[in-house]
Amino acid sequence: MITLRYADQNPKGGWEGQHAMLPWIERMEKATNGRVKFEIYDAQTLTKGPDTWEALKANVADVAWAFHGYWAGLTPLADVISLPSLAFKNAEHASGILWQLYEKYPSIRQQFAANHVLLTWTSNPYFLITTDKQIKTLDDFKGTKIRLTGGPPTELGKALGISPISVGMPDTYANLQKGVMDGMMIPWEAIYSFRQYEVVKYYTFFPSFVVYFTQSFSKAAWDKLPPDIQKQLESVGGLEGSKFWGKNMFDTAEGAAREAIKAGNYTMMESTLAAADVAKLEAMSQPLWDKWVQDNVAAGHPEAAEILKTTQDLIKSYKP
């Protein structure tokens, strides 16, 4: 039997651990007919989240959950998936699109080449939660203090008149409660896990942005595996594995979060930006899309415009 060390920054008792990580580990072990066993190091016990990519390269971990928002500039072509105002339906939809981009473009794969990527996935489109002010129009954003994720979403926020706030996810509850910030952009899994629904009242939905992740092997660990085991593990990776992680880490968390809000009798007032405001938001995002293309072309990637167009085409045509 081959034993591999698996690192995940989240606790295995949380939503992601119970609904995505542990079921996926079980699928991998089953796919190899028990020839591979994964030794799970959850809750950052083997490596800290921001150190994961380098820990894989150094073979500290054999396999790991990796959040690519930690590493600005590491995989800039894949960052296309995180540009603002792209109308992804949900995490499963965006995850499938990211994997298809990864498969189609060698230049994207090259930027991940330090480790062996088994699958990619994304969050659901982030939505806005606020404490005391309901955001119904673009004008309502002016003067608000909102936690954003950095990069193009922050630049768009500034254009809307937002004062961006940068705090770690574990500190957001207290900052919302104390009025240090008026609200934040968040996915379903995080609001379920960190319970910000206890201190906010308003929820605003619109095409915003997603963040992305990989499940990757260290090169050393992957290259030691027999070819038939590699093939078995790839059977639970790729497109289907990417969709699995997007759906089970993020999309299914929506129902659980809504149930928790209802069970606790917490206020949940929902609004969706009007079509005219969504169109304005897309127009405001266009310069950020153009800058992403220009920066990547300048870095030696003339295919950047095609990658963006392929992403936009897949948003319309791809059905998970």
Tokens describing residue 8:
């995940």
Tokens describing residue 267:
């206020």
Q: What pLDDT is attached to residue 301?
A: 98
Q: In terms of DSSP H, where are the helices of the chain?
A: 15-16, 22-31, 52-57, 91-104, 106-111, 152-159, 172-178, 188-194, 219-224, 227-234, 238-246, 253-263, 275-298, 304-317
What's at 219, amino acid-wise? Answer: K
DSSP labels, 74-143: TSTTGGGGG-TT----SHHHHHHHHHHHHHH-HHHHHHTTTSEEEEEEEPPPPEEEESS----SGGGGTT
Of 133, 252, 141, 275, the closest CA to residue 203 belongs to: 133
Beta bridge partner(s), residue 5: 39
Tokens describing residue 209:
């942005």
- The pTM score is 0.95
User: How far apart (Å, rounded) are the C-alpha atoms in residues 209 and 90?
Assistant: 11
Q: What pLDDT is attached to residue 278?
A: 97
Tell how far CA 214 is from the center of its chain: 9
pLDDT over 90 (residue 89): yes
* Other Cβ atoms within 10 Å of 43 Cβ, number: 15
How much is the average pLDDT of 143-156?
92
Q: What pLDDT is attached to residue 114?
A: 98
pLDDT over 90 (residue 257): yes
> Which 8-state DSSP code applies to residue 249?
I
Which domains are seen in the chain, by residue range? 2-124+210-254 (3.40.190.170), 127-208+264-290 (3.40.190.10)
How much is the average pLDDT of 300-314?
98
Binned at pLDDT 50, 70 and 90, residue 31 comes out as very high
Q: What pLDDT is attached to residue 77?
A: 98
Least confident stretch, 33-37, 142-146, 150-154, 206-210: 150-154
pLDDT over 90 (residue 151): no
Q: In the chain, what's the furthest Cα-to-Cα distance? A: 60
The angle at the Cα of 121, spanning 3 to 249, to the nearest 5 degrees, equals 80
Q: What pLDDT is attached to residue 139?
A: 97
Q: What pLDDT is attached to residue 150?
A: 81
Buried/exposed code over 242-258 (b: 16+ C-beta within 10 A; e: otherwise)? bbbbbbbbbbbbbebbe
- Summarised one tens digit per residue, pLDDT across range 211-256 is 999 999 999 999 999 999 999 999 999 999 999 999 999 999 999 9
If you compute the radius of gyration of the chain from its CA atoms, what whole number of angstroms results? 20
With a pLDDT cut of 70, the percent of the chain lying above it is 100
Q: What pLDDT is attached to residue 167?
A: 87
Query: Residues near 98 by Cβ (< 8 Å), separated by ≥ 6?
Result: 78, 81, 120, 121, 122, 212, 242
User: Whole-number mean pLDDT of the chain?
Assistant: 97
Q: What pLDDT is attached to residue 171?
A: 92
pLDDT over 90 (residue 149): no
How much is the average pLDDT of 182-201?
96
| Strand 63-67, strand 202-205: pairing | unpaired
* Ramachandran class of 167: left when φ > 0, alpha when ψ lies in -120 to 50, beta otherwise: beta
